[in-house]
């Protein structure tokens, strides 16, 4: 006997299907079987009244911080995966700026295994660009991909060395994975606490100019 | 005596400036010279009275010894100079070193130098014949020639073969000499390795570029596997030697998935367990030691031809005739 769930009367939003309106959605064995208006309730179907609610495909957050290992007082892989699922996210990509950073295949395997163990949103590990996030040498990109990493980034810190960034972009081609950027020129952003501008001037706080981000993005566009 | 044009010019700087006919002339001349090294008395008077300086500014064992054997077996008089013990270490320029040697009346210089272009620089400034034994990342023509001779020995031809050079192509003089030479002889050439060491720009030289070594193995008849230097890891081109081996190393398991038996070459010195696994290096498809043997014959042929010898007279020259 197949399991049927009818999500009735919710606002269905799915840009990929050009859908945004009140519809019923029939799910059979975990897959969307039918979307329509005022559908008859199939036999044995469980009905969820969704009037006033938004119904979407599982959302994916490609940039989350699960903080484990090292920051468990803020978040763990399990708590983050559960929070994601509660908020409608079925998959998340976990940033590698943990302590220690996710820069080798064992660490990637740990994130993937803890994610599976949580049994909530799917957790996709993201590995570091550089060993130890130090911005000096490439991390074990190939082995991390083999262990399940879906992308690389030194998120939290920029890769200030343009030569290393170029090597990372080239090297990632071999494994067909994206390289995610933390665009910030530290020489410009320096000790800034907030966006440079009127408010920073008024408050007497050191600011970070927009150029700190723009220059880094321009650099990486030229390298890519 | 019938005077024909010399088979080669004054110098051997690289394979890029040579014609297909000149390259074939060297390979064909190497054939009769192979036999000399198999004799009990390994000496013929082809270069009797010639003085050759082996000028090595970079460490080398195989190439230097191979040149020395080639010179000795052709009866040349040789002097070996390595940078560490020479006046270079006292600050002398390359040209001054060479001019001082010239002043002692030499005939040929075999030079290895760390800078690309050094061989041509020297050749333009001294009247002696200059043989490039490796200049920076530019060319290593005698290595390219001995690779082609070895491929021809085992495959019966070069034209139409698919040869893939695997590894640190970016920094490799062996790769460049192979690419230039093999293309002139009608082979299809590809390069394969991490994109940090095998930039796509190599396509402009007329070669195919593979990133996945599995694709290269699927395609190739011949693999020429380059040494991955430890310095490349230190400079950040690859994250670790172990990862390089896992992703680009040539293992028996990978070769067994090839649709055909692939001939395996390596210019040495090998890093076993990095770019090549021992079961491949010592396996039935490996011709790595044949390359070393052929190296002596190819270098004899180059010395003979630069000294003015004619390819078709090589056999007679071995018997004591004039070069």
Instruction: Count the neighbouring beta carbons within 10 Å of the beta carbon of residue B220.
Output: 26
Q: pLDDT (tens digit, 9 = 90+) per residue, B107-116?
A: 999 999 999 9
Smallest Cα distance from B240 to chain A, Å: 7
Q: What is the pLDDT of residue B4?
A: 63
Q: What is the pLDDT of residue A8?
A: 94
Average pLDDT over chain B, rounded to an integer: 93
Q: What are the structure tokens assigned to B249, written together? A: 């190393």
Selecting from B236, B242, B247 the residue whose C-beta is nearest the C-beta of A167 gives B236
Q: Which of A14, A108, A4, A11 is nearest to A51 (CA)?
A: A11
Could you tell me which residues of chain B have a Cβ less than 8 Å from any Cβ in chain A?
194-196, 199, 211-212, 236-240, 242-243, 246-247
The pLDDT of residue B1 is above 60: no
Kindly list the residues from chain B whose CB atom is less than 8 angstroms away from the CB atom of residue A173: 195, 211
Specify the pTM.
0.85
Query: Which is more confident, B89 or A14?
Result: A14
Instruction: Count the neighbouring beta carbons within 10 Å of the beta carbon of residue B35.
Output: 12
Distance CA A20, CA B30 (A): 78
Q: What is the ipTM of this complex?
A: 0.74
Q: What is the pLDDT of residue B322?
A: 53
Could you tell me which residues of chain A have a Cβ less than 8 Å from any Cβ in chain B?
131, 136-143, 146, 163-164, 167, 170-171, 173-174
Q: Which of A204, A199, A148, A206 is nearest to A177 (CA)?
A: A148
Kindly list the residues from chain A whose CB atom is less than 8 angstroms away from the CB atom of residue B242: 143
Q: pLDDT (tens digit, 9 = 90+) per residue, B164-217?
A: 999 999 999 999 999 999 999 999 999 999 999 998 889 999 999 999 999 999
Q: What is the pLDDT of residue B87?
A: 67
Q: What is the pLDDT of residue B200?
A: 87
Q: Which of B221, B286, B271, B278 is nearest to B251 (CA)?
A: B278
Q: What is the pLDDT of residue B85?
A: 66
The pLDDT of residue B23 is above 90: yes
Q: Which of B106, B22, B105 is nearest to B71 (CA)?
A: B106
State mean pLDDT over B47-75. Answer: 95
Helix-strand-coil split of chain A, %, nearest 5: 30, 25, 40
Q: What is the pLDDT of residue B83?
A: 78
Q: What is the pLDDT of residue B229?
A: 84
Percent of chain B's residues with pLDDT above 70: 96
CA atoms within 13 A on the CB side of A116: 6
pLDDT by residue, tens only, chain A of 224 residues: 578 999 999 999 999 989 999 999 999 998 999 999 988 888 888 999 999 999 999 999 999 999 999 999 999 999 999 999 999 999 999 999 999 999 999 999 999 999 999 999 999 999 999 999 999 999 999 999 999 999 999 999 999 999 999 999 999 999 999 999 999 999 999 889 999 988 888 888 889 999 999 999 999 999 99
């Amino acid at each position: 006997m197949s399991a049927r769930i009818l999500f009735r009367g919710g606002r269905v939003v799915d840009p990929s299907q050009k859908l945004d309106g009140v519809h019923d959605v029939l799910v059979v064995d975990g897959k969307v079987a039918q979307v329509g208006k005022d559908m008859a309730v199939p036999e044995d179907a469980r009905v969820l009244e969704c009037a006033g609610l938004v119904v979407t495909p599982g959302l994916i957050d490609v940039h989350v911080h699960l903080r484990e290992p090292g920051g468990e007082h803020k978040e763990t892989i399990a708590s983050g995966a559960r929070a994601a699922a509660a908020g409608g996210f079925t998959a998340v990509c976990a940033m590698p700026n943990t302590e220690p950073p996710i820069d080798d295949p064992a660490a990637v395997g740990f994130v993937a295994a803890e994610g599976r163990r949580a049994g909530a949103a799917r957790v996709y590990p993201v590995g570091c660009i550089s060993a130890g996030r130090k911005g000096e040498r490439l991390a074990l990109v190939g082995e991390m991909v083999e262990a399940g990493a879906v992308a690389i980034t030194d998120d939290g810190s920029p890769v200030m060395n343009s030569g290393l960034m170029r090597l990372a972009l080239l090297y990632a081609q071999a494994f067909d994975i994206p390289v995610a950027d933390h665009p910030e020129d530290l020489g410009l952003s320096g000790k800034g606490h907030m966006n440079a501008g009127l408010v920073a001037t008024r408050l007497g706080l050191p600011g970070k100019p927009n150029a700190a981000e723009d220059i880094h993005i321009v650099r990486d566009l030229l390298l890519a | 005596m019938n005077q024909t044009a010399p088979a080669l010019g004054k110098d051997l700087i690289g394979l890029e400036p040579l014609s297909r006919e000149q390259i074939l002339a060297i390979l064909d001349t190497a054939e009769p010279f192979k036999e000399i090294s198999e004799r009990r008395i390994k000496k013929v008077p082809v270069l009797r009275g010639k003085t050759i300086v082996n000028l090595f500014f970079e460490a080398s064992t195989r190439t230097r010894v191979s040149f020395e054997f080639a010179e000795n077996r052709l009866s040349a008089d040789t002097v070996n100079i390595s940078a560490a013990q020479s006046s270079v270490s006292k600050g002398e320029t390359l040209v001054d070193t060479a001019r001082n040697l010239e002043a002692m009346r030499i005939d040929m210089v075999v030079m290895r130098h760390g800078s690309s272009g050094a061989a041509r620089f020297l050749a333009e400034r001294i009247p002696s014949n200059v043989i490039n034994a490796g200049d920076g990342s530019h060319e290593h023509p005698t290595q390219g020639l001995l690779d082609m001779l070895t491929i021809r020995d085992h495959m019966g031809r070069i034209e139409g073969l698919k040869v893939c050079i695997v590894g640190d192509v970016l920094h490799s003089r062996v790769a460049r000499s192979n690419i230039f030479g093999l293309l002139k002889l009608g082979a299809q050439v590809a390069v394969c390795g991490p994109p940090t060491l095998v930039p796509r720009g190599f396509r402009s030289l007329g070669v195919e570029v593979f990133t996945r070594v599995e694709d290269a193995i699927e395609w190739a008849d011949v693999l020429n596997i380059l040494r991955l230097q430890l310095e490349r890891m230190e400079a950040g081109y690859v994250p670790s030697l172990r990862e390089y081996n896992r992703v680009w190393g040539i293992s028996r398991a990978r070769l067994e998935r090839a649709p055909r038996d692939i001939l395996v070459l390596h210019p040495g010195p090998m890093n076993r367990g990095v770019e090549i696994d021992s079961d491949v290096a010592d396996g039935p498809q490996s011709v790595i030691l044949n390359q070393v043997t052929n190296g002596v014959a190819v270098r004899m042929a180059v010395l003979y031809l630069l000294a003015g010898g004619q390819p078709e007279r090589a056999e007679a020259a071995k018997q004591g005739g004039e070069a």
